[in-house]
Amino acid sequence: MLFRFTLILLLSLNTYIVLSAQLAAKPADNDPTTIVLGLTGFAPYSTIDEETGQCFGSGFDITQTLLLSDNFKVKPFCAAPARVYRSIEEGKIDLTVNIKSTNALKDKVSFTKIPFDKLKLNLYSKNEQSSSKTVASIRGYDYEGQRRKMEEQGYKFVDVPNADNATNLFLNGRTSHLLSYENPYIHFLNQLDSETRTSYEQIVQIEYLTSVPTHYAISKSSPHHDSLVAAFNRIDEKALADQHFISQVIAIIHP
């Protein structure tokens, strides 16, 4: 369900897995080019292990699979949105995933044609706190203009570094509302025991606001910009030609 509208970019994943296996079976003619994929804390696509500090998630795994046949090695990088945007501008990050309307990326990146994902934006509210107007949110996120609209209606935002922090703030009663994309919220609930999850589900109301596609965004300051654009153009063409792989791809990503 999470990738219902989202996986057209990955339709050729089976082909890339086969190519990856072939590459692993024989010595490479040259060392792979390391690129940095920078993502904000946005589970399940990217998260930071609290004990080790390691940055990981399905977004990195998918990207590595897609780019392996072009001899790229993906180096994960997780940070707050402002730092990711600054690093993209400086060329310290080669690639990220975002929506095309993000002002901080305007004129600084080249977006891929086919979406990486399609995100559903919801407003979550506690039944017993419906009259209050405090909202947990991620610092630096505009939420497709919803932040500004809600501020004009008198809502007060409490900004935190990532989606997990925002969800935790809301569920523990520190705010009466949560403005969040659906996938990180579901991921957070899935980490809880069934009793706790059920108790939250019984008191939370969900209002759907909008949906928006995300794309790979290639830094124009990256020394690998042109090579990455060419690689993703090939991936886009292959994805459009292999639409019948959709059910197989969903089974691979979500067995």
pLDDT tens digits, 61-79:
999 988 988 999 999 999 9
Looking at 42-180, list the stretches that DSSP marks H as alpha helix, in order from N- to C-terminal side: 58-67, 81-90, 146-152, 163-171
Same-domain status, 130 and 113: no
Split at pLDDT 50, 70, 90, the class of 48 is confident
Q: What is the CATH number of the domain that holds 74?
A: 3.40.190.10
| pLDDT one-digit tens code per residue, 150-160 | 999 999 999 99
Same-domain status, 203 and 217: no
pLDDT at 235: 85
**Structural domain harbouring 157:** 119-211
Same-domain status, 92 and 171: no
| pLDDT one-digit tens code per residue, 111-120 | 998 888 889 9
* Helices 58-67 & 13-25 angle (0-180, nearest 10): 70
Q: How many residues does the chain have?
A: 255
| pLDDT one-digit tens code per residue, 208-219 | 999 999 999 999
Same-domain status, 100 and 43: yes
Question: Does residue 247 register a pLDDT over 50?
Answer: no
Same-domain status, 139 and 162: yes
Q: Which residues are CB-neighbours of 91 under 8 A, at least 6 positions away? A: 219, 221, 222, 223
CA distance 201 to 205: 8
Taking the CA of residue 190 as centre, how many other CA atoms within 13 Å lie in the half-sphere pointing to its CB? 8
Looking at 118-174, list the stretches that DSSP marks H as alpha helix, in order from N- to C-terminal side: 146-152, 163-171
Split at pLDDT 50, 70, 90, the class of 232 is very high
Same-domain status, 238 and 167: no
Give a yes or no: residue 2 inside a domain: no
Per-chain mean pLDDT for the chain:
84
Q: For residue 158, what are its two tokens?
A: 């409490």
Looking at the chain, list the stretches that DSSP marks H as alpha helix, in order from N- to C-terminal side: 13-25, 58-67, 81-90, 146-152, 163-171, 182-190, 194-203, 225-241, 246-253
Number of domains in the chain: 2
Question: Does residue 91 register a pLDDT over 80?
Answer: yes
Give a yes or no: residue 203 inside a domain: yes
pLDDT at 22: 47
CA distance 92 to 104: 15
Question: Does residue 9 register a pLDDT over 60?
Answer: no
Contact indicator for 56, 176 with CB cutoff of 8 Å:
no
Give a yes or no: residue 1 inside a domain: no
